[in-house]
Amino acid sequence: MTGYASPDPRRLGLLVPASDMVSEVDFHNHLPASVAFYTARLHQPKDSGIGTSANYQGLVDSAPGAAQSVALANPELLVYSCTSGSFFKGPNWHAELSKQIEDASGIPAITTSTAVITALGALGARSVFMASPYPESVNDAERAFLKAHGFTVTAVLAFGCTKSQEIFRITPEAIVEAVLARRNEVMENDVLFLTCTGLRAVDVVETLEKELDRPVITSNSTALWLALVRLGIDTSNVKVGRLFRQKPVKPAKTA
């Protein structure tokens, strides 16, 4: 029988889309042994498409109840682990969604989109090459969200998935191959950003940083980093890229 690495672990609560098969794995593999996490799953209508109103409405409407459920495990911080679900209503939606979750649970909350812009700020980035599994409409919305916070997406590598389940089928090897095929474009930017919590991208961060000599972030790496920062835990020993050696700075103001 195995027990906790720490007799009194720090605790996080994750709110994860029902179709997401990656967020929990990434947190399990890369959280320090002193931190435990507990998960509640967000509702998604069966077979709903990425970026559809039905999909987003389910992810949003179920968030307060999911937060109340996982709050029973006494987490110190809640993480809404969905990138597009936390930017789709505009530049301030990530903060509004955090407030809704906090009001429902009584526990501080962050969203993936909050983590992304905080991470970009900490890295001193302004120009971003984005690799995305999303369809064009969602990529356009994410470009607009990042622009409103002071970051320019100069190019997008789009895998063009239309269903959430398709995202998991993009292998880490395929991500590396596709990114390196556009090496010159990536090198013209400050940061490579691999978006979507359902994309299996965390484990290619170190490889791509060595190949490109650029900071590489993913949706899950930024959420993991910001969660640890908010808990006051040193991130420098987490081997998921340069971000974990950075301290956050105040995000740029929205336009």
Q: Where are the domains of the chain?
A: 10-114+220-245, 124-219
pLDDT the model gives residue 4: 55
Q: How confident is the model at residue 3 (pLDDT cuts 50, 70, 90)?
A: low
What rounded mean pLDDT belongs to the chain?
Answer: 94
**Does domain 10-114+220-245 correspond to CATH entry 3.40.50.12500?**
yes
If you average pLDDT over residues 29-51, what whole number do you get? 91
pLDDT the model gives residue 254: 43
Model confidence at 255: pLDDT above 70? no
Position 79: which residue type? V
Do the first three CATH levels of 10-114+220-245 and 124-219 match, i.e. the same topology?
A: yes
173-193: per-residue pLDDT in tens?
999 999 999 999 999 999 999
Domain 124-219: which CATH number of 3.40.50.1860, 3.40.250.10, 3.20.20.140, 3.30.930.10: 3.40.50.1860
Distances (CA, A) of 221 to 92, 121, 138, 185: 22, 15, 20, 22
Strands (DSSP E) contained in the chain are 10-17, 35-42, 77-80, 109-111, 127-132, 152-158, 191-194, 216-218
Q: How confident is the model at residue 2 (pLDDT cuts 50, 70, 90)?
A: very low
Distances (CA, A) of 49 to 60, 99, 130, 213, 214: 15, 27, 21, 35, 33
Q: How confident is the model at residue 109 (pLDDT cuts 50, 70, 90)?
A: very high
